[in-house]
Every structure is written in C-alpha cells, then in structure tokens.
C-alpha cells in the first residue's frame, strides 16, 4: 500500500502584543508630535534647529502633563539630544532654547540668564578652555536677568579651570546645584 502525503497548509496565528506603560507613552508621544507636525509643517531646512527644539519642548510638555495626571511619565535625558551653545565672545545672553553653554573665549566672559518659562528649567555653563582660574580677566560671570537672583546674590562667578555650574529655576530665582 502506498502512503499518500497530505499537504498541510500553514495557519497564521495572531499574537496579541502587550505593551508596557513606557511603550504606550512613547506611542502617544509620537502620535502627538505627528499631529503637531501636521498643524505647522515647516519648509525643508527652514528654521530646522528651532523646529527641533520646539518638538523637544512639546515632548517634555506631554510627558510632564502625563506625569501630572498620575501617568508615571518620565523623560530619560540619556536618549534626548540637548542644545549645545559655544560662546566665543565676551558676552552671551542665554535663550530659553539653550541648555549647555560652553565658554570658548580666552578672556573675561559675562553670561546672562533669562527669566525661565517654567520651574525646573536647567542651564549648564562650562569653562571649556580651562582658563577660568587665571585671574579676574578670565573669570566667567553669570548674571540673572532683571532683578532675579542666583542663590540670593546678583551674580555667580565661575573661576576654576574646566569647571561648570548648573543653574535651576526655582519659581522666583536661580539656584546653583
């Protein structure tokens, strides 16, 4: 007797995908950003940097809002690109889009911080040349705007080589951490 082989048709099985809270939050973030992009689609390469900063700010706002509603949202800065600014002159006024301000000027420098738009806003000022301790003509002076203060004072001075200061807005003044 001859054996007859039956052809077996493959059966496709649907797998149910279970997502973590983080994956759900990321999906919501991507959808939110896509909706924002539809509202105001920039022309190619026009205002590219400000558009990128704007989108990052939207992600921060979304995550902060989700977190405020008990959604457990968090931003992992290890996965975020932060704006880098290089100061090559004797003065620079920080913008709200800045984050890291690297001083690459061989002389005294004055950095002016803006009034922050929200509590928790952070700026880092760094002596990248390693010359801040070489006398008052090399100090990096950081000033708040208007009548704002930095830890109760009208200025902070960075006077150590390759040093940095991190400033956090605490609602009514800047704090050094």
**CATH code (residue 138):** 2.60.120.640
Considering the domain boundaries, does residue 14 fall inside one? no
| 50 and 65 both lie in a single domain | yes
Residues 6+ apart with CB under 8 A from 129: 103, 104, 105, 106
SS3 content of the chain, % helix, strand, coil (to 5): 25, 20, 50
Domain with 28 in it: 21-78
Q: Note the pTM of the prediction, 2 decimals.
A: 0.58
What confidence score (pLDDT) does residue 100 get?
94
Residues in the chain predicted with pLDDT less than 50, given as ranges, are none
User: Which pairs from 98-104 meet CB under 8 Å and 24+ separation?
Assistant: 98/123, 99/123, 99/124, 100/124, 100/126, 101/125, 101/126, 102/126, 102/128, 103/127, 103/128, 103/129, 103/132, 103/140, 103/158, 104/128, 104/129
Number of domains forming the structure of the chain: 2
Round the average pLDDT of the chain to a whole number and report it. 81
User: What pLDDT is stored for residue 69 in this prediction?
Assistant: 56
Q: Which of 48, 78, 108 is the C-terminal boundary of a domain?
A: 78
| Residue 170 belongs to some domain of the structure | yes
In this structure, the answer to whether residues 120 and 150 fall within a common structural domain is yes
> How far is the C-alpha of 92 from the C-alpha of 135, rounded, in Å?
20
Are 26 and 98 contained in the same domain? Answer: no
Do 57 and 26 share a structural domain?
yes
Same domain, 95 and 74: no
pLDDT at 46: 58
């Amino acid at each position: 007797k001859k054996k007859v082989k039956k052809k077996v048709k493959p059966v496709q099985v649907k797998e149910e995908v279970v997502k973590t809270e983080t994956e759900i939050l990321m999906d919501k973030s991507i959808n939110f950003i896509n909706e924002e992009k539809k509202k105001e689609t920039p022309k190619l390469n026009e205002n590219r940097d400000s558009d990128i900063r704007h989108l990052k700010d939207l992600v921060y706002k979304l995550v902060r809002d989700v977190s405020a509603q008990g959604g457990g949202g968090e931003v992992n800065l290890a996965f975020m690109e932060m704006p880098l600014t290089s100061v090559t002159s004797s003065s620079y006024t920080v913008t709200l889009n800045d984050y890291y301000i690297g001083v690459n000027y061989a002389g005294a420098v004055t950095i002016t911080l803006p009034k922050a738009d929200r509590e928790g806003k952070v700026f880092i000022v760094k002596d990248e040349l390693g010359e801040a301790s070489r006398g008052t003509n090399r100090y990096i002076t950081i000033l708040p705007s208007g009548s704002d203060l930095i830890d109760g004072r009208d200025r902070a001075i960075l006077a150590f080589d390759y040093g940095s200061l991190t400033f956090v807005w605490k609602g009514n003044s800047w704090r050094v951490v």
